[in-house]
Amino acid sequence: MLKALHHVNLIVSDMEKTKAFYNGILGLPIALETVIEDAEFSRGVGLPNTKVIATFFQLPNNPGLIETFQYVRPADGKPLPTDKKANDAGWTHICFQVDDVDQEVKALEGKGISFLSTPVTIAKTHPQFAGVRFCYFLGPDREVIEILQG
């Protein structure tokens, strides 16, 4: 039986840029930094002779983590496609709840973040999400991040 979300994983191209973004800009504390170079890990991920630099970021008000891996070996991974759209199959984004989406947009823009749109508001007539406000921005490897109010 599933008990709780433990972590989500993000493959990154540059761990220093990732730490500067998730810790420095978004303010997520670093829970753990390590290097994983282990035969069983390699077998588990299905890639021989694997070595990863791993950084785990603590989520706010949540025991879950964002686990980031920079593959040192093998280093031939592909970046996210530049034409990836919100309706493409697979995981598409991670969302952080905020108290005031407009205030958070201003704060993040002040730190150099560009948003994909201004905040949007779901119609008041929607039966479940009436008045919910959100917007998306991109992380250092073009991963989509959402902030949501409501």
Question: Does residue 64 share a domain with residue 26?
Answer: yes
Give yes or no for residue 30 having a pLDDT over 90. Answer: yes
Question: Does residue 12 share a domain with residue 68?
Answer: yes
Q: Residue 137's pLDDT is what?
A: 96
CATH code for position 111: 3.10.180.10
The domain boundary, picked from 19, 42, 73, lies at: 73
CA-CA distance, 5 to 81, in Å (whole number)?
A: 27
Count of domains observed in the chain: 2
Question: Does residue 100 share a domain with residue 68?
Answer: no
Q: Residue 85's pLDDT is what?
A: 87
29 CB-near residues (< 8 Å, 6+ apart): 23, 57, 58
Domain that holds residue 60: 7-73
Give yes or no for residue 2 having a pLDDT over 80. Answer: no
**pLDDT by residue (tens digit) across 87-146?**
888 888 999 999 999 999 999 999 999 999 999 999 999 999 999 999 999 999 999 999
Question: Does residue 104 share a domain with residue 61?
Answer: no
DSSP secondary structure string for all residues of 21-65:
IIIIIT-PPEEEEEEE--HHHHHHHT-TT-EEEEEEEEPTTSS-E
Question: Does residue 101 share a domain with residue 54?
Answer: no
